[in-house]
């Protein structure tokens, strides 16, 4: 059976902008048929077997429920690695790829010991491990489900990362980790009051514990990780955060207040204050 790309796209335009809807359809068809994007665009349609047609119908039904395409397909690309993602973990964002790139550009020791706090899918630790074969990578998370996904992703990408359970907000967190050269984290940072403005494909599917922080304590994770880093980072060790763009200057002030030096606030490619680094 031949299916029209434009007709499938039109089914999604009440949910997504046309360009995004078209991109979703193309990604689904690429997965189902193994045809290239260029071939699909040139033909404007795809001929599906009965099995492929059934698979495509199931995918479209989930997309129409506003489930993220990354969950529908079960994977996503992140800084050159392929990651499994499902409802147990957040979908990695392009801004987090920029954080990884900043760490790599700033790195001064090939044999660094690096900890990724609130690792989720393991995207940061795994991407760094892929680029830094001589470094020692660790990742921690409170969610055992997320850690299962992270370990599977490390195996999929043939990298060695030690993942372990830990609550960064616990007073005992610092006792669970050895000295580190670099600590990096993309912790929860979305205010609960911001939920009303979020799209359903995020709010209804991605894990809230990995997204939200209390409105009255937006820096709760940053303060906890920074206080641990003061004791666990090696001299001149570095701390890297992804942040809520609305609180960039507050994070900078907090890091300076607790005793970090060389605190830098960095914009992402969209011009939003999205990353902070600091030195012990």
Q: What is the pTM of this model?
A: 0.94
Domain 87-279 bears CATH identifier 3.40.50.150: yes
pLDDT tens per residue, the chain (280 residues)?
Answer: 888 999 999 999 999 999 999 999 999 999 999 999 999 999 898 899 999 999 999 999 999 999 999 999 999 999 999 999 999 999 999 999 999 999 999 988 889 999 999 999 999 999 999 999 999 999 999 999 999 999 999 999 999 999 999 999 999 998 888 999 999 999 999 999 998 888 888 888 999 999 999 999 999 999 999 999 999 999 999 999 999 999 999 999 999 999 999 999 999 999 999 999 999 9
How much is the pLDDT for 198?
86
**Residues 280/234, Cβ–Cβ less than 8 Å:** yes
pLDDT at 3: 87
pLDDT of 86: 97
Residue indicated by tokens 């669970």: 176
* Rounded CA separation 127/84 (Å): 13
**How high is the pLDDT of residue 109?**
83
Domain ranges of the chain: 2-65, 87-279
């Amino acid at each position: 059976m031949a299916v029209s790309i434009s007709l499938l796209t039109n089914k999604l335009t009440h949910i997504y902008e046309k360009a995004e809807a078209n991109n979703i359809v193309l990604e689904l068809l690429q997965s189902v048929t193994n045809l290239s994007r260029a071939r699909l665009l040139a033909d404007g349609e795809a001929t599906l077997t009965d099995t492929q047609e059934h698979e495509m119908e199931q995918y479209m039904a989930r997309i129409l429920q506003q489930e993220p395409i990354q969950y529908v397909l079960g994977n996503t690309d992140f800084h050159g690695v392929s990651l499994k993602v499902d409802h147990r973990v957040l979908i990695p964002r392009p801004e987090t790829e920029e954080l990884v790139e900043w760490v790599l550009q700033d790195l001064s020791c090939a044999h660094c010991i690096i900890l990724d706090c609130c690792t989720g899918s393991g995207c940061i630790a795994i991407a760094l491990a892929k680029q830094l074969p001589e470094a020692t990578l660790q990742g921690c998370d409170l969610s055992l489900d997320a850690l299962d996904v992270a370990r599977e992703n490390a195996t999929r990408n043939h990298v060695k990362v030690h993942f372990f359970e830990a609550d960064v907000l616990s007073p005992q967190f610092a006792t669970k980790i050895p000295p580190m050269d670099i600590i990096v984290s993309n912790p929860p940072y979305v205010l609960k009051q911001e939920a009303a403005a979020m799209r359903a494909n995020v709010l209804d599917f991605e894990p809230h514990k990995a997204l939200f922080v209390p409105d009255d304590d937006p820096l709760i994770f940053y303060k906890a990780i920074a206080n641990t880093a003061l004791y666990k980072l090696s001299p001149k060790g570095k701390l890297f955060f992804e942040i809520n763009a609305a609180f960039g200057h507050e994070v900078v002030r907090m890091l300076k207040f607790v005793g970090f030096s060389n605190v830098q606030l960095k914009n992402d490619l969209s011009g939003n204050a999205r990353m902070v680094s600091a030195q012990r």
